[in-house]
Structure 1
Amino acid sequence: MSAHSLRGFVLLLVTGSLSLMPGPAPARDYGQQGATFPVIEADLLSVIHQRLTGMQASGEIDRANRALAARTAERVRRPAPVVGIAAASEPRSWAFDPTITVADDLRDARGRVIVARGTRVNPLETVPLRQRLVFIDGDSEDQVAWAMARTTALNAKLILVSGSPFALMKAEQRRFYFDQSGTLTTKLGIRAVPAVVEQRGRVLAIREMVVQGTKGDQK
């Protein structure tokens, strides 16, 4: 086949293929199908800005900030009482062993193992409890008087499970602590106050004691 005949054959194939392609479909109006609604996309940041601007102008933000500051200050002055702690109705004593088993190797900054996994460690061997921990109800005058008469700032730390540590510090001229969320009493198993914790060798000796005038009081 000559080059001229070849070009003619190709042209015939192309034109023939184009003739087989469907033409444009005629447009048809199918009408409205169901209800339609306009698309509205609100700018969320704009809405928030407008809301805050309105709150600022009305003084609502300032009032909310003052209320939050007042609640925070009150919570600091008088934390929420530890739940489940009662005034001791009978003496109780037990020993608490703080020994733990190290779950993973403890390494220093250079990656060297300083305490191997599985080692049993007693914190009292490295950080002894030099002062007794005395847990009391700060709202009980009897318990506060009992603790003040039997301890000093040098030999004991007074820890409240209820009451205002700041009010007592001002009244007694002595530092008071608070067992926030019952962390210590829960760990040590204390259920009633007054309770005294002191070190005896490798364990902590814990005693719950009855104080005159507080028997049966509940928290």
Structure 2
Amino acid sequence: MAAAFIAAVPVAQAEMLEVIGTVYPIQEPDLMEAMQNRMAKMQESGEMDKLRKEYQEKMKGLVNEPPVAKQLSRTNEPRTFYYDPTLIVPYNVLDHKGDVLVPAGTRLNPLDTVSLNGALVFFNSADEQQMNYVRQYIKGAKQGSRLILVAGRTFDTMKALDHRVFFDQGAALIKKFGIEQVPAIVVQDGRRLRIDEVVPE
């Protein structure tokens, strides 16, 4: 039976097939070499210098005039209110032995240990009326003031006022203090901060 089965199976025949067309070796372009060639061409054409200058100007513009996160109007109705910086500890603070250092529910006020020297002056330097107010304010201030822009051009303002200027990035401070109008003056009043939104005159 086995011999009959084997005899019935057709014999496979192998044959060499002719080559159709030209055979080329597989070559993949070198990515790094392609990038270097592209960079060299951009350098030669001056395109690289152009892109570099455009990027530098863009960064300089963002530093000088950061995006405004919250638009504030000029103060029309003066307002005075207070901000209490007291924090309530939400859980027990333990030392390395597991002993409680600060119990949950403890009230901590940073003004008990750190004082706010001088005033925080928030304003929009794009408004000339506010700029004039700030000029007069810093001339008469008894202590150094920290000038904080909510809108305007930082470097131009520093030059115009001959004073160091900060920018409230992301409107973090005006949101924390609840400031809605500028100029606004923040000073320490005991264990609280007093905030005056003043009409620039």
Question: Residue 164 of structure 1 is aligned with which of 144, 149, 153?
Answer: 153
Give distance in 2, aligned partners of 1:131 and 1:208: 17
Length, aligned pairs only: 182
Question: Within the alignment, does 1:202 sit opposite 2:196 as a pair?
Answer: no
Question: Residue 172 of structure 2 is aligned with which of 183, 186, 211?
Answer: 183
Question: Residue 114 of structure 2 is aligned with which of 127, 135, 141?
Answer: 127
Specify the SS of the correspondent of 2:57. Answer: helix
Paired position in structure 2 for 1:65: 52
Paired position in structure 1 for 2:22: none
Question: Within the alignment, does 1:89 sit opposite 2:76 as a pair?
Answer: yes
1:39–1:179 CA distance, 2 compared to 1 (3 A): same
Counterpart contact for 1:94–1:206, Cα < 8 Å? yes
Question: Within the alignment, does 1:79 sit opposite 2:66 as a pair?
Answer: yes
Alignment TM-score, normalising by the size of structure 1: 0.67
Question: Aligned partner of 2:157: which letter?
Answer: L
Q: Name stretches of at least 5 consecutive residues in structure 1 with no aligned partner.
A: 1-19, 30-37, 213-219
Alignment TM-score, normalising by the size of structure 2: 0.72
Give distance in 1, aligned partners of 2:164 and 2:14: 88
Paired position in structure 1 for 2:125: 138
Deviation for aligned residue 1:103:
5.0
1:82–1:210 CA distance, 2 compared to 1 (3 A): farther
Q: Name stretches of at least 5 consecutive residues in structure 2 with no aligned partner.
A: 1-5, 16-24
Q: Which runs of 4+ in 1 moved over 4 A?
A: 38-42, 103-108, 110-115
Deviation for aligned residue 1:194:
0.8
Specify the SS of the correspondent of 1:94. Answer: strand
Give distance in 1, aligned partners of 2:76 and 2:130: 13
Q: CA RMSD in A?
A: 3.4
Give distance in 2, aligned partners of 1:94 and 1:65: 48
For residues 70-110 of structure 1, what are the alpha-carbon distances to aligned partners after superposition, in whole Å with 9 as ceiling and x for unaligned?
222232233333432211222233221112234566688x7
Give distance in 1, aligned partners of 2:70 and 2:79: 19
Question: Aligned partner of 1:26: which letter?
Answer: A
Structure number with bigger Rg: 1
